[in-house]
Amino acid sequence: MRKNSILTGLALALSAISAVQAAPLLYSGSRSGFEANLSTFTSYGLENQTLNATGVGSPLSLAALGAGSTLTGGFKNYKGANDEDLVLTGLIKNAGSSGRYNTTPGGTKWWESALNFSIGFGSGPVEAFGFNLIDYGDFDGSLSLDILGAGNSVIASFSSLDLPVPAVSGSLQFFGISDTSASIYGVRFKLAQIDEDAVLDYDWLGFDDLMVGSREPRNDVPEPGSLALVGISLLGLAAARRKARR
Protein backbone atom coordinates (compact mmCIF):
# COMPACT_ATOMS: atom_id res chain seq x y z
CA MET A 1 0.00 0.00 0.00
CA ARG A 2 2.78 2.39 0.93
CA LYS A 3 4.73 1.44 -2.19
CA ASN A 4 1.72 2.19 -4.38
CA SER A 5 1.28 5.57 -2.71
CA ILE A 6 4.91 6.43 -3.30
CA LEU A 7 4.72 5.44 -6.97
CA THR A 8 1.49 7.41 -7.43
CA GLY A 9 3.05 10.51 -5.91
CA LEU A 10 6.12 10.20 -8.09
CA ALA A 11 3.98 9.76 -11.23
CA LEU A 12 2.01 12.90 -10.41
CA ALA A 13 5.23 14.85 -9.86
CA LEU A 14 6.68 13.66 -13.15
CA SER A 15 3.43 14.61 -14.88
CA ALA A 16 3.73 18.11 -13.44
CA ILE A 17 7.34 18.29 -14.65
CA SER A 18 6.22 17.42 -18.17
CA ALA A 19 3.62 20.18 -18.03
CA VAL A 20 6.26 22.70 -17.01
CA GLN A 21 8.58 21.68 -19.83
CA ALA A 22 5.80 21.67 -22.43
CA ALA A 23 4.69 25.28 -21.94
CA PRO A 24 5.43 27.48 -24.98
CA LEU A 25 8.51 29.64 -24.46
CA LEU A 26 9.24 33.08 -25.93
CA TYR A 27 12.70 33.83 -27.33
CA SER A 28 14.09 37.29 -28.11
CA GLY A 29 17.58 37.63 -29.52
CA SER A 30 19.54 36.66 -32.59
CA ARG A 31 17.90 34.60 -35.29
CA SER A 32 20.95 32.34 -35.44
CA GLY A 33 20.67 31.69 -31.70
CA PHE A 34 17.09 30.45 -32.13
CA GLU A 35 17.97 28.36 -35.17
CA ALA A 36 20.82 26.70 -33.27
CA ASN A 37 18.27 24.94 -31.05
CA LEU A 38 16.30 23.54 -34.00
CA SER A 39 16.98 20.27 -35.79
CA THR A 40 15.19 21.49 -38.95
CA PHE A 41 13.63 24.76 -40.00
CA THR A 42 12.10 26.48 -43.02
CA SER A 43 12.18 30.25 -43.64
CA TYR A 44 9.77 32.18 -45.84
CA GLY A 45 10.36 35.74 -47.02
CA LEU A 46 6.95 36.60 -48.56
CA GLU A 47 8.55 37.18 -51.97
CA ASN A 48 5.84 35.37 -53.95
CA GLN A 49 3.01 37.41 -52.42
CA THR A 50 1.07 39.95 -54.48
CA LEU A 51 1.86 43.57 -53.67
CA ASN A 52 -0.80 45.27 -51.52
CA ALA A 53 -2.52 41.95 -50.79
CA THR A 54 -4.34 42.32 -47.45
CA GLY A 55 -5.33 38.83 -46.33
CA VAL A 56 -8.83 40.20 -45.67
CA GLY A 57 -11.64 38.07 -47.08
CA SER A 58 -9.12 35.73 -48.70
CA PRO A 59 -6.20 34.75 -46.43
CA LEU A 60 -2.72 34.84 -47.92
CA SER A 61 -1.23 31.41 -48.57
CA LEU A 62 1.95 30.62 -46.65
CA ALA A 63 2.32 27.16 -48.16
CA ALA A 64 6.12 27.38 -47.82
CA LEU A 65 5.57 26.98 -44.04
CA GLY A 66 3.41 23.89 -44.59
CA ALA A 67 0.38 22.99 -46.66
CA GLY A 68 -2.66 25.04 -45.66
CA SER A 69 -0.69 27.66 -43.70
CA THR A 70 -2.22 31.13 -44.03
CA LEU A 71 -2.00 34.76 -42.95
CA THR A 72 -5.36 36.40 -42.22
CA GLY A 73 -5.39 40.19 -42.04
CA GLY A 74 -7.68 42.48 -40.08
CA PHE A 75 -9.46 45.67 -41.13
CA LYS A 76 -10.89 48.82 -39.57
CA ASN A 77 -13.27 51.42 -41.05
CA TYR A 78 -12.32 55.02 -40.33
CA LYS A 79 -12.64 58.63 -41.49
CA GLY A 80 -9.82 60.17 -43.50
CA ALA A 81 -8.37 63.66 -43.18
CA ASN A 82 -11.13 65.00 -45.45
CA ASP A 83 -13.85 63.04 -43.63
CA GLU A 84 -13.96 60.39 -46.36
CA ASP A 85 -14.79 56.77 -45.54
CA LEU A 86 -11.65 54.62 -45.62
CA VAL A 87 -10.65 51.10 -44.67
CA LEU A 88 -7.40 50.34 -42.87
CA THR A 89 -5.76 46.94 -43.45
CA GLY A 90 -2.40 45.26 -43.20
CA LEU A 91 -0.76 44.60 -46.57
CA ILE A 92 2.22 43.30 -48.51
CA LYS A 93 4.60 46.15 -49.30
CA ASN A 94 7.86 46.69 -51.16
CA ALA A 95 8.35 50.46 -50.90
CA GLY A 96 7.01 53.69 -49.50
CA SER A 97 6.99 52.78 -45.81
CA SER A 98 8.71 54.93 -43.24
CA GLY A 99 10.90 52.67 -41.11
CA ARG A 100 9.67 49.32 -42.51
CA TYR A 101 11.69 47.31 -44.99
CA ASN A 102 12.53 43.90 -46.38
CA THR A 103 14.94 41.66 -44.44
CA THR A 104 15.22 38.74 -46.87
CA PRO A 105 18.64 38.67 -48.59
CA GLY A 106 18.00 39.64 -52.21
CA GLY A 107 14.29 40.16 -51.49
CA THR A 108 11.99 43.19 -51.75
CA LYS A 109 8.72 42.43 -49.91
CA TRP A 110 7.39 42.31 -46.36
CA TRP A 111 4.08 42.33 -44.46
CA GLU A 112 3.14 45.43 -42.48
CA SER A 113 0.18 46.14 -40.26
CA ALA A 114 -1.19 48.43 -37.57
CA LEU A 115 -4.02 45.99 -36.80
CA ASN A 116 -4.43 42.49 -35.43
CA PHE A 117 -3.76 39.56 -37.75
CA SER A 118 -3.17 35.84 -37.42
CA ILE A 119 -1.11 33.03 -38.88
CA GLY A 120 -2.37 29.45 -38.94
CA PHE A 121 -0.54 26.20 -39.67
CA GLY A 122 -3.09 24.22 -41.64
CA SER A 123 -0.99 21.09 -42.05
CA GLY A 124 -0.78 20.54 -38.31
CA PRO A 125 1.00 21.88 -35.24
CA VAL A 126 4.63 23.00 -35.19
CA GLU A 127 7.26 23.01 -32.45
CA ALA A 128 8.81 26.38 -33.27
CA PHE A 129 7.84 29.60 -35.03
CA GLY A 130 9.81 32.82 -35.52
CA PHE A 131 9.71 36.15 -37.32
CA ASN A 132 11.59 39.39 -37.87
CA LEU A 133 9.84 42.40 -36.31
CA ILE A 134 10.64 45.76 -37.91
CA ASP A 135 10.04 49.33 -36.72
CA TYR A 136 8.42 48.36 -33.42
CA GLY A 137 7.34 50.93 -30.86
CA ASP A 138 8.55 54.20 -32.34
CA PHE A 139 4.96 55.54 -32.12
CA ASP A 140 4.31 53.87 -28.75
CA GLY A 141 2.28 50.94 -30.07
CA SER A 142 2.65 47.53 -28.45
CA LEU A 143 2.49 43.95 -29.66
CA SER A 144 1.17 40.89 -27.84
CA LEU A 145 0.97 37.28 -29.00
CA ASP A 146 -1.63 34.59 -28.42
CA ILE A 147 -0.29 31.10 -29.12
CA LEU A 148 -3.12 28.99 -30.49
CA GLY A 149 -3.74 25.30 -29.97
CA ALA A 150 -6.26 22.97 -31.56
CA GLY A 151 -9.54 24.68 -32.39
CA ASN A 152 -7.92 28.13 -32.01
CA SER A 153 -7.82 27.76 -28.24
CA VAL A 154 -5.29 30.04 -26.55
CA ILE A 155 -2.60 27.89 -24.91
CA ALA A 156 -0.25 30.77 -23.98
CA SER A 157 -0.07 34.56 -24.22
CA PHE A 158 2.87 36.94 -24.25
CA SER A 159 1.91 40.53 -23.49
CA SER A 160 3.59 43.69 -24.75
CA LEU A 161 6.75 42.26 -26.26
CA ASP A 162 9.80 44.22 -25.16
CA LEU A 163 12.69 45.16 -27.37
CA PRO A 164 16.25 45.03 -26.02
CA VAL A 165 17.10 47.87 -28.39
CA PRO A 166 15.78 51.47 -28.36
CA ALA A 167 12.34 51.88 -29.94
CA VAL A 168 13.48 53.98 -32.89
CA SER A 169 12.28 54.11 -36.47
CA GLY A 170 13.64 51.16 -38.43
CA SER A 171 14.50 48.95 -35.44
CA LEU A 172 14.87 45.22 -36.14
CA GLN A 173 14.42 42.32 -33.72
CA PHE A 174 13.84 38.58 -34.01
CA PHE A 175 11.27 36.77 -31.86
CA GLY A 176 10.63 33.05 -31.64
CA ILE A 177 8.22 30.73 -29.87
CA SER A 178 9.00 27.09 -29.15
CA ASP A 179 6.98 24.25 -27.65
CA THR A 180 8.47 20.76 -27.39
CA SER A 181 4.98 19.24 -27.29
CA ALA A 182 4.37 20.48 -30.87
CA SER A 183 1.04 22.05 -29.97
CA ILE A 184 1.34 25.38 -31.87
CA TYR A 185 -1.47 25.49 -34.43
CA GLY A 186 -1.27 29.23 -34.98
CA VAL A 187 -0.27 32.65 -33.66
CA ARG A 188 -2.50 35.70 -33.19
CA PHE A 189 -0.68 39.05 -33.39
CA LYS A 190 -2.44 41.73 -31.32
CA LEU A 191 -1.37 45.32 -31.95
CA ALA A 192 -2.48 47.93 -29.42
CA GLN A 193 -2.27 51.64 -30.21
CA ILE A 194 -1.74 54.42 -27.69
CA ASP A 195 -4.92 56.07 -29.05
CA GLU A 196 -7.23 53.64 -30.88
CA ASP A 197 -9.25 56.53 -32.34
CA ALA A 198 -6.26 58.37 -33.87
CA VAL A 199 -5.94 56.09 -36.90
CA LEU A 200 -3.72 58.49 -38.81
CA ASP A 201 -1.16 58.29 -35.98
CA TYR A 202 -1.09 54.51 -35.64
CA ASP A 203 2.17 52.68 -35.02
CA TRP A 204 2.82 50.43 -38.05
CA LEU A 205 4.98 47.33 -37.70
CA GLY A 206 6.80 45.31 -40.35
CA PHE A 207 7.12 41.50 -40.39
CA ASP A 208 9.38 39.39 -42.57
CA ASP A 209 11.27 36.10 -42.82
CA LEU A 210 8.74 33.92 -41.04
CA MET A 211 10.01 30.49 -40.05
CA VAL A 212 8.83 27.17 -38.62
CA GLY A 213 11.01 24.41 -37.24
CA SER A 214 11.46 21.32 -35.10
CA ARG A 215 13.40 21.09 -31.87
CA GLU A 216 16.39 18.83 -31.29
CA PRO A 217 15.68 15.47 -29.60
CA ARG A 218 14.91 15.86 -25.89
CA ASN A 219 18.16 16.41 -24.02
CA ASP A 220 17.26 19.79 -22.55
CA VAL A 221 18.60 20.92 -19.20
CA PRO A 222 15.60 20.90 -16.82
CA GLU A 223 14.07 24.30 -16.15
CA PRO A 224 14.17 25.74 -12.60
CA GLY A 225 10.52 24.82 -12.05
CA SER A 226 11.23 21.25 -13.11
CA LEU A 227 14.20 20.99 -10.76
CA ALA A 228 12.06 22.21 -7.88
CA LEU A 229 9.46 19.55 -8.58
CA VAL A 230 12.14 16.86 -8.76
CA GLY A 231 13.46 18.02 -5.40
CA ILE A 232 10.01 17.88 -3.82
CA SER A 233 9.47 14.39 -5.24
CA LEU A 234 12.78 13.11 -3.84
CA LEU A 235 12.06 14.61 -0.43
CA GLY A 236 8.66 12.93 -0.44
CA LEU A 237 10.21 9.57 -1.33
CA ALA A 238 12.81 9.91 1.42
CA ALA A 239 10.15 10.78 4.01
CA ALA A 240 7.99 7.86 2.94
CA ARG A 241 10.89 5.43 3.23
CA ARG A 242 11.80 6.67 6.70
CA LYS A 243 8.20 6.23 7.77
CA ALA A 244 8.06 2.74 6.29
CA ARG A 245 11.18 1.67 8.23
CA ARG A 246 9.55 2.65 11.51
C-alpha–C-alpha distance, residues 246 and 236, integer Å: 16
Which has more pLDDT, 107 or 168? 107
Q: Which of 144, 145, 146, 149 shows the shortest CA–CA distance to 184? A: 149
pLDDT one-digit tens code per residue, 79-137: 888 889 999 999 999 998 889 999 999 999 999 999 999 999 988 899 999 999 999 88
Which has more pLDDT, 245 or 179? 179
pLDDT score recorded for residue 96: 83
Tell me the H-state helices in the chain. 2-22, 31-35, 224-245
**What mean pLDDT comes out for the span 64-91?**
94
pLDDT score recorded for residue 7: 41
pLDDT one-digit tens code per residue, 227-241: 444 444 444 544 545
Distance of CA 196 to the CA centre of its chain: 23
pLDDT score recorded for residue 169: 85
Give the DSSP H or E segment for 110: strand 110-113
pTM, two decimals, is: 0.79
pLDDT score recorded for residue 22: 64
